[in-house]
Chain A
């Protein structure tokens, strides 16, 4: 039968036709463009408007950046080279590079010290930020603050060593007694630390800093972006423990402690940072003993730490409140006391929930360190507005300098927020 059929039909295709490609408008770039940029009239209008905005921005900035001059020693020379063309005068950055980074008074032969401190900071921060690294590196993190203090301020090595020994003694006492009673261990540790500091203070000879290996640098000589970084790192790390204490205090059953914390937090959150910096610069000196001289840097650190501690406390309070009540009850039913329950059960979970908020506060705080320029400290913004723009060579170079400052802050802040997002993904233990 099949033979007859084969004879009557002229042609039978024995293989399948390969599928035809989809229409050109439904594949690849064209499809993507149609779906994402030109899906309807309103969308097309938006796209064209956005393109126009991008074009205008690039048209104004690209020639300015590409024609930039990097190697002159004043604005007038820049203008001579450019001869009326648009172009940036980036030579202000190369010529004043050290001033922008270290301020104008930090001794130039000592620039390696803050540089080394910054490099070591990366090593010290690494085990805190990335917990896959071996835990033993944390020992270096513990030593780092004292090392960095010695590197940046110079002077005799005795001061940071005594300070470190005080903390070491406190830790040792705490370890010994924490098995029996938390309160005894806690107050014993404080007493031990003070004992070591007072003894050590007596041991350090007068004028030991004068002929030390690293020449001492007074705090008022610090400046530039280094000052912003130092204020940011110091205040964030100091305000974390203070913030945790305040948050726990606010949750406390003891009315007196609770109200002390509430009043402190609400007061600090209700006023702008500038007023607190005014307190640091003009008012705080009245509250110290008459003959003492506490330098401005320390006063500013105290006030900024208080400021960010109040905000961090509120973030952590949110984390504590988000924990189910069962966690507290479970800790109680295991027979843990308050310190153990907090340390082993509550805080690890609450802190994990509060990480994004804490990072937000840290980024905000780092940006707010620029405010110290208002109370005439020469941080990056203070350097730009003060000595550099006021100099005869660079009077009028606004955009290069402000753009540089903006870029530095953007890189650091954006980096921190990207880290926090990575950490959140990393710590997500719930499988949703």
Chain B
């Protein structure tokens, strides 16, 4: 009977560092750490020497200095006396604004094009294929420039709206498409409950939240009734009323009116002005990313096997309920992860704003501020920090949502 003996207890030899798997990974990591440390030391040393030679230092105090430049497109108070930090904040908000708008419209374009591409209408599906191929294969920068050129070179100037026989006219007397931007009516409250407009809008939003709660309760009640009696009561009228009544009541009380843009002097005044650069960036990003989302949507719908649709039909579900209850929930699981990365792409591509002069964070902090102060390292680092944070937050939020629609497995 043989017994297992321990392997001979050898002493540690130097060759084991490279030949023995127990020590080899340690060796490699030590080498990697040394190389990394050498690289950092070398680059840092160069940086210190270069900065000393140029008489610079790393300091963020320039952020408090007066910026001295104007920004047309802004969501918060800002003038040329404000600080660089304030200019950066304006830029951050502008980036978030265009990214948010483009995410919504790109999803709409993408879903419509993706669904239509699967249509059994030959012409429509081919047309959508052409849309997807054309927009995917041409750089987004070219699209931004093309749409910006339409905005500035093709649309009429405000002066063409003047005179008895103007060559351009407003749409419905409410929308003016000019080469300085698009003017739309501005809703405002004659006798708002609060002083500030923002609070009044929050009130309207609260009204919608209330409606949503009531509608939810109605649906719960209807489901309970259906389970008890087998017949689902008709809920269309109460649901409509729940949505409309609070909104209409609030707007009636606060006196919602529209301020129309008017041609005064050389330009339009009143209403909301949406600048050409914002429109160009928004539209180009949505239509470009929409083509990618269309492909994701198509792949998602095709990933649901035909058996699922047939099984649902065999259970007696109507086509609309087959779509809502069987196909879409499964397709969404495939569509959501690539959709998240498309949203991230939109946020990152919005930095191309600098090409058309939209004042996003890249154009303010990474453009004018950088050139004025010469603080290249600080500005670029702050810029990267912002985009990294934005990317991480978006992917975190979307991952939470993704986890909630994921297949619940054992």
Q: Which residues of A contact B (CB under 8 A)?
A: 36-37, 39, 43, 46-47, 50-51, 53-54, 181, 183, 253-257, 260, 267, 269-275, 278-279, 282-283, 285-290, 363, 367-368, 370-371, 373-374, 381, 385, 396, 398-399, 402, 405-406, 409-410, 413-414, 417
Interface assignment of B315: CB less than 8 Å from any CB of chain A: no
Closest 3 CB pairs of A and B: A36-B122, A413-B137, A272-B348
Greatest chain A CB density within 10 A among B134, B140, B145 is at B145
Beta-carbon contact of A286 and B137 below 8 Å: no
Known: A54-B127, A260-B36, A282-B376. A254 touches B388 (CB 8 A): no
Selected from B49, B53, B119, B388, the residue in CB contact (under 8 A) with A267 is: B388
CB-defined contacts of A399 to chain B, threshold 8 Å: 149
CB-defined contacts of B120 to chain A, threshold 8 Å: 36, 39, 43
Tier of interface size on chain B: 35 or more
B130-168: CB near A (< 8 Å → 1, else 0) gives 000110111111100110010001000000000000000
Known: A36-B121, A414-B133. A367 touches B32 (CB 8 A): no
Selected from A286, A373, A402, the residue in CB contact (under 8 A) with B149 is: A402
Q: Nearest Cβ in chain B — how far from A162, in angstroms?
A: 24
Interface residue ranges of B103-142 to A (CB < 8 Å): 116, 119-124, 127, 133-134, 136-142
Give the CA-CA distance A189 to B122 in the complex, in Å: 59
List 14 other contacts, CB 8 Å, given A50-B124, A287-B46, A371-B352: A37-B122, A47-B123, A51-B123, A53-B127, A272-B362, A278-B370, A286-B47, A287-B43, A289-B46, A290-B46, A370-B142, A371-B141, A399-B149, A414-B133
Interface residue ranges of B18-59 to A (CB < 8 Å): 18, 25, 28-29, 32-33, 36, 43, 46-47, 49-51, 53
Beta-carbon contact of B139 and A409 below 8 Å: yes
Beta-carbon contact of A257 and B28 below 8 Å: yes
CB-defined contacts of B141 to chain A, threshold 8 Å: 370-371, 373, 381
- Listed by A's residue number, 5 A-B pairs whose Cβ atoms lie within 8 Å are A273-B348, A275-B366, A290-B49, A381-B141, A402-B142
**Which one of B171-179, B203-211, B252-260, B377-385 is at the interface?**
B377-385
CB-defined contacts of B391 to chain A, threshold 8 Å: 269-271
CB-defined contacts of B145 to chain A, threshold 8 Å: 381, 385, 402
Beta-carbon contact of A257 and B142 below 8 Å: no
Interface assignment of B189: CB less than 8 Å from any CB of chain A: no
Across the two chains, which residue of chain B brings its CB closest to A417?
A: B137
CB-defined contacts of A367 to chain B, threshold 8 Å: 137-140
Give the CA-CA distance A417 to B383 in the complex, in Å: 33
Q: Nearest Cβ in chain A — how far from B351, in angstroms?
A: 4
Beta-carbon contact of A274 and B137 below 8 Å: no
Interface assignment of B169: CB less than 8 Å from any CB of chain A: no
B366-396: CB near A (< 8 Å → 1, else 0) gives 1000100000110010011001100110000
CB-defined contacts of A385 to chain B, threshold 8 Å: 145
CB-defined contacts of A36 to chain B, threshold 8 Å: 120-123
CB-defined contacts of A289 to chain B, threshold 8 Å: 46
Beta-carbon contact of A381 and B142 below 8 Å: yes
CB-defined contacts of A368 to chain B, threshold 8 Å: 139
CB-defined contacts of B138 to chain A, threshold 8 Å: 367, 406, 409-410, 413
Q: Nearest Cβ in chain A — how far from B222, in angstroms?
A: 29
Beta-carbon contact of A183 and B18 below 8 Å: yes
Beta-carbon contact of B351 and A272 below 8 Å: yes
Give the CA-CA distance A159 to B127 in the complex, in Å: 52
Main SS class of interface, B? helix
CB-defined contacts of A269 to chain B, threshold 8 Å: 391
Known: A260-B36, A271-B387. A282 touches B380 (CB 8 A): yes
Give the CA-CA distance A191 to B76 in the complex, in Å: 59
CB-defined contacts of B116 to chain A, threshold 8 Å: 46
CB-defined contacts of A402 to chain B, threshold 8 Å: 142, 145-146, 149
Main SS class of interface, A? helix
CB-defined contacts of A183 to chain B, threshold 8 Å: 18
Q: Nearest Cβ in chain A — how far from B361, in angstroms?
A: 10
CB-defined contacts of B384 to chain A, threshold 8 Å: 267, 271, 275
Beta-carbon contact of B380 and A398 below 8 Å: no
Q: Nearest Cβ in chain B — how far from A415, in angstroms?
A: 9
CB-defined contacts of A256 to chain B, threshold 8 Å: 29, 32-33
Selected from B18, B50, B53, B370, the residue in CB contact (under 8 A) with A282 is: B370
Give the CA-CA distance A402 to B46 in the complex, in Å: 42
Interface assignment of B263: CB less than 8 Å from any CB of chain A: no
Interface assignment of B66: CB less than 8 Å from any CB of chain A: no
Interface assignment of B355: CB less than 8 Å from any CB of chain A: yes
Across the two chains, which residue of chain A brings its CB closest to B149?
A: A398
Selected from A253, A271, A282, the residue in CB contact (under 8 A) with B348 is: A271
Selected from B49, B137, B149, B153, the residue in CB contact (under 8 A) with A410 is: B137
CB-defined contacts of B392 to chain A, threshold 8 Å: 270
Q: Nearest Cβ in chain B — how far from A22, in angstroms?
A: 21
Give the CA-CA distance A367 to B352 in the complex, in Å: 13
Selected from A257, A274, A282, A417, the residue in CB contact (under 8 A) with B351 is: A274
Interface assignment of B349: CB less than 8 Å from any CB of chain A: yes
CB-defined contacts of B121 to chain A, threshold 8 Å: 36-37, 39, 43, 46-47, 50
Q: Nearest Cβ in chain B — how far from A164, in angstroms?
A: 26
Give the CA-CA distance A359 to B230 in the complex, in Å: 55
Give the CA-CA distance A260 to B37 in the complex, in Å: 12
Greatest chain B CB density within 10 A among A255, A257, A417 is at A257
Beta-carbon contact of A374 and B140 below 8 Å: no
CB-defined contacts of A273 to chain B, threshold 8 Å: 348
Interface assignment of B354: CB less than 8 Å from any CB of chain A: yes
Give the CA-CA distance A410 to B133 in the complex, in Å: 9
Known: A267-B388, A402-B145. A46 touches B134 (CB 8 A): no
CB-defined contacts of A287 to chain B, threshold 8 Å: 43, 46-47, 50
Beta-carbon contact of A270 and B388 below 8 Å: yes
Give the CA-CA distance A410 to B119 in the complex, in Å: 25
Give the CA-CA distance A206 to B181 in the complex, in Å: 58
Give the CA-CA distance A271 to B345 in the complex, in Å: 10
Give the CA-CA distance A271 to B119 in the complex, in Å: 37
Selected from A50, A254, A272, A279, the residue in CB contact (under 8 A) with B123 is: A50
Give the CA-CA distance A72 to B362 in the complex, in Å: 40
Give the CA-CA distance A253 to B21 in the complex, in Å: 12
Across the two chains, which residue of chain B brings its CB closest to A252?
A: B25
Q: Nearest Cβ in chain B — how far from A395, in angstroms?
A: 11
Q: Nearest Cβ in chain B — how far from A16, in angstroms?
A: 37
Give the CA-CA distance A267 to B380 in the complex, in Å: 14
Give the CA-CA distance A363 to B291 in the complex, in Å: 15
Beta-carbon contact of B366 and A278 below 8 Å: yes
Across the two chains, which residue of chain B brings its CB closest to A408?
A: B138
Q: Nearest Cβ in chain B — how far from A286, in angstroms?
A: 5
Greatest chain A CB density within 10 A among B53, B123, B349, B383 is at B123
B326-338: CB near A (< 8 Å → 1, else 0) gives 0000000000000
Beta-carbon contact of B387 and A270 below 8 Å: yes
CB-defined contacts of A398 to chain B, threshold 8 Å: 149, 153
Known: A256-B33, A271-B388. A278 touches B352 (CB 8 A): no
CB-defined contacts of A267 to chain B, threshold 8 Å: 384, 388
Across the two chains, which residue of chain A brings its CB closest to B152?
A: A398
Across the two chains, which residue of chain A brings its CB closest to B388?
A: A270
Greatest chain B CB density within 10 A among A257, A275, A373, A406 is at A275
Give the CA-CA distance A279 to B120 in the complex, in Å: 49
Q: Nearest Cβ in chain B — how far from A364, in angstroms?
A: 9
Known: A257-B29, A272-B387, A402-B146. A50 touches B127 (CB 8 A): yes
Interface residue ranges of B47-103 to A (CB < 8 Å): 47, 49-51, 53
